[in-house]
Amino acid sequence: EVARGKNTFGSPYYGEWVPSLAVDGIELDSSMSHSDNGVVRPWWLVDLGTTHTLHEVLILSRRDQFSVRLHNVEIRVGNTFINNSDYTSYVLFSTYLGPYQINDGYLSCRRADGIVGRYVSIQRVTPEDDMLQLVEVKVM
């Protein structure tokens, strides 16, 4: 796991639910990254510090009545820092249509071929303003 404790960035966030909470190792809904209300195509980004060959990204969403907010996301990998909402220059690692269900646990997004990169983005790609809520993200 190469993302824990690394620098994170994201869409404007709700209250104290900062992007770094998704890589703090705490798997509780009370410790999650939470984009602000009304943000269209919310995004989250982790800087792994150096390049790695990435084979799997695990995503744990909140597990309550709002779990269905995780849907229609793309995971992308890149080598250039981008701190906005356009990650189309990154390589598409995986997509998740969802919606996430309370008992889904960690979503496993895998690439047997591996993608080399330093930055991993997770972004909703449909125009709803559902919040992006990530309890934990693990990158392997």
**CATH number assigned to the domain comprising residue 102:** 2.60.120.260
Question: Looking at the domain assignment, is residue 2 inside a domain?
Answer: no
Q: Per the domain annotation, does 109 fall within a domain? A: yes
Task: Quick: pLDDT tens for 20-62.
Answer: 999 999 999 999 999 999 999 999 999 999 999 999 999 999 9
Number of domains observed in the structure of the chain = 1
Q: How confident is the model at residue 108 (pLDDT cuts 50, 70, 90)?
A: very high
Q: Is residue 39 part of a domain?
A: yes
The residue behind tokens 């798997």 is: 27
Name the nearest CA neighbour of 60 among 3, 10, 15. Answer: 3
Q: What is the average pLDDT value for the chain, to the nearest integer?
A: 96
Residue 130 lies in a domain: yes
Q: What whole-number percentage of the chain has pLDDT above 90?
A: 95
Domain that residue 69 falls in: 7-139
Tell whether 47 is covered by a domain: yes
pTM score: 0.96
Is residue 1 one of the residues assigned to a domain? Answer: no
Side chain identity, residue 125: V
35, 101, 16: which is closest to 67 by C-alpha? 101
The radius of gyration of the chain from alpha carbons, rounded to an integer in Å, stands at: 13
Q: How many degrees, rounded to 5, is the angle at CA 66 between CA 94 and CA 138?
A: 40
| pLDDT score for 60 | 98
Position 114 pLDDT exceeds 90: yes
Q: What is the pLDDT averaged over residues 79-84?
A: 95
pLDDT at 129 over 90: no
- Strand-pairing partners, residue 52, are 117
Q: Is 102 helix (H, G, I), strand (E, B) or coil?
A: helix
Any domain includes 72: yes
For residue 28, being part of any structural domain is answered with: yes
